[in-house]
Structure 1
Amino acid sequence: MTEAIASEAASNPGMQMKYKIVFLGDQSVGKTSIILRFTSDSFDVKYQATIGIDFLTKTVYVDDKMVRLQLWDTAGQERFRSLIPSYINDSQVGVVCYDITSRQSFENVKSWVEQARQ
């Protein structure tokens, strides 16, 4: 991803780059934890399920160019899956997460990738 960002930033000097990154995966695999660690270097030991969709932003610099990242946290519960396609449509990056201690969450990666590609 860094090469693509650097290339686009170089071809658009002075323009602020913005990328929407959607995190997908089963419930309680760590999507929120990954986003919180990246955006604020924090970790909450208490589990709290994401309701629907949430997002945080982080500004990073790539080759001295400002890049704004929107990190979208999706709920892994089945009842919220119908919301996800509308958030994936205009995203540039999809990150599928799974829990290494849950074989089922790993096996569900294929369905998350398929949903992202629709």
Structure 2
Amino acid sequence: MSRSTILAACLMGVFSAVFGVTGPAWAQGGMGYYGHSGSHMGFGGGFGWIFGPLFMLALIAAIVAVIVLMVRWIGGGSGQIPPQAQPSGKTPLDILQQRFARGEIDKAEYEERRRVLED
């Protein structure tokens, strides 16, 4: 199986788990926990105000994390160094000579640094 097929199957599983299972459960009306219809602030409903939004944020964060990790896995680094990060092939002595030629450093500093590089 290709990585994109695996990603599509996992994303479909996540979305069906979140929206397919909980959607019908939310749609069901009927009697509440203690046989009452509607909501009340007894033992059954008080903690929902606190933990419900926190759980929802945690669930959304987990879904986003899974999607990000899967996209990174699918994209999979090619293992190549980007062009701007590749070494230019110049030696430190070449760079020193260019700096001296541009006038960035004087002759004394050039000689001193050249001696250090050649040792």
- TM exceeding 0.5: no
Report TM bin, short chain: under 0.3
Superposition TM-score, scaled by structure 1 size? 0.22
Q: Which has more helix, going by share of residues?
A: 2
Q: TM-score, normalised by structure 2?
A: 0.22
